[in-house]
Amino acid sequence: MRLSRSYDRLRSAPWRWTLGAALTGALAAGGIGAGIDAGGGIGAGAAGGAGTCAAVVLTAAFCALVSEALRHRALARTLATGNARLRVLLDVDHLTGLMNRTAFHNALEDRGLLDHDMLVVLFFDLDRFKDVNDTLGHKAGDDLLRKVAERVRRTIRHPIALARLGGDEFAAVLPWRHEVSPEEHAESIVAAVGEPFDLGGTRVEVGASVGLAIGDPTRLDGTELLRRADLAMYAAKAASRGCYRVFDDAMDRREMRESSVRVELGRAMIENQFSLHYQPLVDARSGAFSSAEALLRSQSPALRDISPFALIATAEASGQIIALTDWTIETALAAAARLENAPIAVNISPVYFRHPDFVSRVVDQLLAARVRPELLKVEITEGVLIDNLESARHSIDRLREMGVRVFLDDFGTGYSSLSYLQHFELDGLKLDKSFLRSVGDRRKTNQIIRSMIDFGHSLDMRVVVEGVESDWQARLLQMLGCDLLQGYEIGMPMPLDDLIAWRAAHDSALWRNPHPALRGTGAAAA
């Protein structure tokens, strides 16, 4: 069997034709040179003919082998060239021409970095890049990334590595040079990216948040320096965007705390160490109990000192917010069933709202709880609306078609852009409690609150004011036409059983109002 395979390979060899032709010619020459006598024997010229035959065969075989060797060498060169081109293609980001993530990480692990006394690592991404994609399209976004890469390439001279890591994230490794400080490199990137871009005739302005890490490569490897630069970049984003921050130990300690919180948050979810407290809302005209807002609380000793805002921010960053919100909606719907006709409001994180299955998850929860959709109120922030107008509008419309009520939370603290609100049909606005700090003391504050209440009513939305902490604030808001009131003056956040007891006592006495004549003077409820 082995001999058969060898024979097949021999037969398929390209040079067999050359050798075969040579052998045929040699045999012919040998036959002629040998001469055959009348008796059929080989004549005296046989020796000369055989020698000629052997010489021709050997020459032909040698030529065939040389030809085959040259062919293999050419093939090897072609393969080497192809492999080199393939390596280049695998290492390059095809959109910008910079290194890609894989090549950059390989560069960080290169032993050649040890030849430098100090290394500078820059990590940055673009501010407002998503707005460009959403408003002008992904083609314009790609064009912007190419132009950013060109500017950065001109700005950072002689880097060890410069890459687009993916999306709108870029990174660079540079040797420390005394003539240019690391901070100057970061400032130059901020300045370069901050200049306007022309995208097909449209002027676009974005920014860069830059993180900077400096270290001795013999003590800190490239991967660690990149991690530190990444932390510094997020610090720049938290500060003001369009700026840079240099890594310091405080960032590392903060990252360690957040990592610890993530671990404890996961443990608390597994061990059922979360609960909901409910803060009541009352009708501003009659004082009657109207609904309640579900607020997350943790019984975990490790999370006791973590504020709900910090806890939610950590859950959003880690992705744990999805499971946590699922649990919150499920628990709130169970509470709504016990409260019968009183809706429960749930705050929806932007991360959860942008989930592809957001509406389906809400529907599944409603079906499982067998609760009417009208008993669920969803509260979203203004940032959710501007992230992706079309997607947000589609999700809100689907919720409202089912009967779920959608309120805009913290109105007046973010963008508060009327141009965005005209794209959405909402059930209500919730004015932030910060407006109440000077209500009654400043005439302008009263006018602003009245204007926002009138604005909400003009769009057929109910208006809620949260943070009511005194009876006179409640009465003033009632006169200004507010629909619903929420705050410590109305009721503290409390467990469900306590809320049920509070509601029974409250409904029996209604809301104590020293000026009954004010009732009914507010704007009609939507």
Per the listing, tokens 């806890």 go with 311
Predicted TM-score (pTM) of the model is 0.61
Q: How far apart are CA 131 and CA 113, in angstroms?
A: 38
* Helix axis angle, 471-480 to 443-458, nearest 10°: 50
Instruction: Identify the pLDDT of residue 32.
Output: 45
Mean pLDDT, residues 246-266: 83
pLDDT at 374 over 50: yes
Q: How far apart are CA 499 and CA 497, in angstroms?
A: 5
Mean pLDDT, residues 498-522: 65
Q: Assess contact for 487 and 511: CB atoms under 8 A.
A: no
Per the listing, tokens 């744990």 go with 320
Per the listing, tokens 């939507």 go with 526
Span 173-204, pLDDT tens digits: 999 887 888 999 999 999 999 999 999 899 99
Instruction: Identify the pLDDT of residue 515.
Output: 43
Per the model's pLDDT, the better-predicted residue between 512 and 402 turns out to be 402
Q: How far apart are CA 134 and CA 142, in angstroms?
A: 12
* Helix axis angle, 249-270 to 222-239, nearest 10°: 80
What percent of the chain clears pLDDT 90, i.e. is strictly above it? Answer: 44
Span 415-467, pLDDT tens digits: 545 667 778 899 999 988 887 776 656 677 788 889 989 999 999 999 999 99
Per the model's pLDDT, the better-predicted residue between 248 and 26 turns out to be 248
What's 341's DSSP letter? T
Instruction: Identify the pLDDT of residue 438.
Output: 65
Domains with residue ranges and CATH for the chain? 4-90 (no CATH), 101-247 (3.30.70.270), 257-513 (3.20.20.450)
Q: How far apart are CA 517 and CA 514, in angstroms?
A: 9
Instruction: Identify the pLDDT of residue 300.
Output: 87
